[in-house]
Amino acid sequence: MFYVIDAYYSAHPSDSVGSLLGDLNPFLFKDSISADPAAYDDFCDCFAKTAKGREVDDVDVGYQAAKSFLQFYNDEFGFELENLIRDFSYEDYKKAYHSLK
């Protein structure tokens, strides 16, 4: 998810997307989890709700969880992510997902 959002931000910079990237950045600390552990916990919650017993290593589940997470941050925390949510494509997510495997 981070890589897709990062690529989107490169093409469409905005304060909200940049702030979200700062929270999610897995490269700031040695342990490779997000810079903001609460953001990681929020994603895990969205993932658990989305997976509902389905295979965890499933690109479709990951994509839907990522969309759910973005919508949650848009609605709950006032991040202006409507354009990112609209443009967050399954194909881009799938390409990033498989590049990490």
Is the whole-model pTM more than 0.85?
A: yes
Structural domain of 12? 1-99
Number of structural domains (the chain) is: 1
Distances (CA, A) of 4 to 25, 57, 93, 97: 12, 18, 6, 9
Instruction: Show the tokens assigned to 95.
Output: 């390409």
Residue pLDDT, tens place only, 26-83? 988 877 778 899 999 999 999 999 998 787 778 999 999 999 999 999 999 999 999 9
> What is the distance between the alpha carbons of residues 90 and 13, in angstroms, rounded to a whole number?
20
For residues 1 and 93, is the Cβ–Cβ distance under 8 A? yes
